[in-house]
Structure 1
Amino acid sequence: MPQLDVAGAALTYDDEGPRDAPGVPLVFVHGWTADRHRWDHQVAHFCAGRRVIRLDLRGHGESTGAGVRTVAELADDVLALLDHLEVERCVLVGHSMGGMIAQTIALAHPDRVERLVLVGSIARMAYSRGRALLMAASTLVPFRLFVAANIQRAFAPGHPREQVRAHIRASAAVPREVVMTLYGAMRSFDVLDRAGEIRMPTLIVHGYHDVQLPVRQVLRLAKACPDAVVRILDAGHELPLEKPAELTGALDRFLSGNPDPRHTW
């Protein structure tokens, strides 16, 4: 796999599909403790007729590197890759923390984002006092237990247990420093007051059973984002794994201009 050296990290990426295809490239950004293969279904669908780019964020998957402290620094890595690949403008698709990265890029560099797709992501982490205390306490348990608890609850009830266990193992393989530092970065992420500045067409796809980032939180983003289309799927937080075909279909319709730019449910 090709790699790009950026600020002490070697970023592994895929750049697939015809370079001369109509439309700007699709760029997929995965979430916390995941890797670029979260997007396998979408990449397989779109790369036949469109340039498609995805990467492993630093410290994840086949990429190396640590030391990143903020979502904005991860956004800089993505921008460095786009510069390297000479991608001036794209459709940016982000899941969970990847959606936070995508929002950061869309706000800082709106000229580079033609359309924005946020999958299981929000603009501000918000907790009750009780849940905030519970989350803080969860960081004190053994690392593997911390990861297992967070990944387990990311899936809607009934998801095959062997798949959940496989993803727990993969997440636990991400270096502890990367996992815990970015956990804190997500908790402090907040661009909700700037969501109205996101003026490009935006698709928000969220799971009805998402307990990691509940639907009520994403509705705050949808209300503030003037050009958002909202799709709520019968899934938990891990939409690319739980409902890959439905997610791909929603993205396909969005890229083709259907449905029209209104909130839909």
Structure 2
Amino acid sequence: MPQLEVDGATLTYDDEGPRDGEGVPLVFVHGWTANRHRWDHQTAHFSERRRVVRLDLRGHGESTGAGVRRIDDLAADVLALLDHLKIERFVIVGHSMGGMIAQTVALSHPERVERMVLVNSIGKMAYSRGRALLMAASTLVPFKLFVAANIQRAFAPGYPREEVREYIRASAGTPREVVMTLYGAMRAFDVSDRIGAIQAPTLLVHGYHDVQLPIAPMLRLATAYPDAEVRVLDAGHELPVEKPAEVTAVLDRFLTRGD
């Protein structure tokens, strides 16, 4: 289990697949309170024929570190890891907050991003009434209850309860400081007026039943991209694990588009 020390954090990551495989490496970035294992299905599939990198963001999963207050800081961590691995050009795939990180990387280093995939992500934080109420209650209820409520509503109705409980348990391990400061970072995130500068072909994949980041802002985001493709799946906010095979298939088609 390789690790990298970066600016007061220890980043745990996986670097799998052939170094001389098909195409540039794939870089998978998870979302808020999650970890790199959100991408297990996709990593197992793509690492058979190309290099795949995924990491636990600082303060998440098996990585340590806290104190970051901007999405730009998390993007800097991702770039530091890729520099360490001597990966110059790549395809970046981000889920939720990870998609915000992906857009930040594409805007700051366009020459390095060959293609980009945003899964259940948007260019400016959007708020449903339910999310606003949860955040208002975040200082009034036990932290684990707050996390559980956020994770529970991330899955579409009908998703197996025991599996949801496993994700709640994993997310509850994220330190409160990390959870709340990064929520502030997401609230401040807004690249909606800069999207037109991203020339890399972009795939936006979204769950129709996503109440965390509703589908309407994503569709508005897609219209701003010079080269965008949209796919909507019958699921909630946690697409990589709710519909793993479908997400993998959509990625596969996008990555071979134009070949």
Question: How far 1:138 sits from its partner (Å)?
Answer: 2.5
In 1, the alpha carbon distance for the partners of 2:26 and 2:132 equals: 39
SS in 1 for 2:204: strand
Match of 1:263 in 2: none
Match of 2:91 in 1: 91
One-letter amino acid of the structure 1 residue matched with residue 105 of structure 2? I
Match of 1:17 in 2: 17
Question: How far 1:136 sits from its partner (Å)?
Answer: 3.7
In 2, the alpha carbon distance for the partners of 1:143 and 1:45 equals: 36
Question: How far 1:133 sits from its partner (Å)?
Answer: 4.8
Match of 1:155 in 2: 155
Question: How far 1:139 sits from its partner (Å)?
Answer: 1.8
Tell me, which stretches of 5 or more residues in structure 2 are unaligned?
none
SS in 1 for 2:247: helix
Question: How far 1:184 sits from its partner (Å)?
Answer: 1.3
In 1, the alpha carbon distance for the partners of 2:245 and 2:23 equals: 22
Q: Does 1:243 align with 2:243?
A: yes
Question: How far 1:7 sits from its partner (Å)?
Answer: 0.3
Q: Does 1:208 align with 2:179?
A: no
In 1, the alpha carbon distance for the partners of 2:85 and 2:132 equals: 43
Question: How far 1:142 sits from its partner (Å)?
Answer: 1.7
Match of 1:44 in 2: 44
SS in 1 for 2:10: strand
One-letter amino acid of the structure 1 residue matched with residue 133 of structure 2? L
For 1:51-62, list aligned pairs within 5 A: 51-62=51-62
In 1, the alpha carbon distance for the partners of 2:192 and 2:167 equals: 30
In 2, the alpha carbon distance for the partners of 1:155 and 1:182 equals: 21
One-letter amino acid of the structure 1 residue matched with residue 97 of structure 2? M
Match of 1:227 in 2: 227
Change (3 A) 1:223 1:145: same
Question: How far 1:131 sits from its partner (Å)?
Answer: 5.7
Q: Does 1:174 align with 2:205?
A: no
One-letter amino acid of the structure 2 residue matched with residue 103 of structure 1? Q
TM-score normalised per structure 2? 0.97
Tell me, which stretches of 5 or more residues in structure 1 are unaligned?
261-265
Question: How far 1:127 sits from its partner (Å)?
Answer: 3.2
Question: How far 1:51 sits from its partner (Å)?
Answer: 0.4
Question: How far 1:32 sits from its partner (Å)?
Answer: 0.5
Question: How far 1:21 sits from its partner (Å)?
Answer: 1.2
Match of 2:198 in 1: 198
Question: How far 1:125 sits from its partner (Å)?
Answer: 1.2
Which structure 1 residue ranges, 4+ long, deviate > 4 Å from structure 2?
130-133
In 2, the alpha carbon distance for the partners of 1:237 and 1:127 equals: 14
Change (3 A) 1:159 1:20: same
Question: How far 1:233 sits from its partner (Å)?
Answer: 0.2
Match of 1:124 in 2: 124
Percent identity (aligned): 75
Question: How far 1:220 sits from its partner (Å)?
Answer: 1.4
Change (3 A) 1:221 1:109: same
Match of 1:165 in 2: 165
RMSD: 1.4
Aligned residues between the structures: 258
Match of 2:103 in 1: 103
Change (3 A) 1:226 1:149: same
Question: How far 1:132 sits from its partner (Å)?
Answer: 7.0
Change (3 A) 1:179 1:245: same
